[in-house]
Amino acid sequence: MTVTEKAAYLRGLAEGLNMEADAPTTKLFNAIIDLLDDLALTVADLEDSVEILNEQVDAVDEDLDELESFVYDEYDDDEYDEDDDFFEVECPSCNEVVCVDEGILEEGSINCPNCNELLEFEIDCDCEDCEEDD
């Protein structure tokens, strides 16, 4: 039984009591039952609104799942390997910290994304591979 049905049931019980219309207790009961009717209608409206909101939230959640799937599944695993090392370089002009990977270091330079200053890199390496290149 819904809240509005329960309020209607209480109204029917009160009318079945055949109370005197002008009696103070009858007026009190009628006012209470009117209040219950209003509250029951408000609750029913709120339940409908919550149901609509839940449907909209579910739709947004599904859309977000699709978007996440699109963004993260389209990401090429060859472009980024979690084992890649990143290095922080501070721009001497603007003090912006820039993260660069090994490939950029090997290229020798990059423009600062903040001030466009050319950042040049020299790599001094002691490994056997680099000694063979010399």
pLDDT at residue 81 in the model? 52
134 residues of the chain, pLDDT tens digit each: 899 999 999 999 988 988 898 899 999 999 999 999 999 999 999 999 999 999 999 999 999 999 988 888 765 555 555 556 788 888 888 988 888 888 887 888 888 888 988 888 777 766 766 666 55
Tell me, what's the pLDDT at 125? Answer: 67
Q: What is the pTM of this model?
A: 0.46
DSSP for 77-92, written as a single string: TTT--TT--EEEEE-T
- What residues form DSSP beta bridges with 110? 119
* Cα→Cα distances 41→4, 7, 15, 33, 50, Å: 6, 9, 20, 12, 14
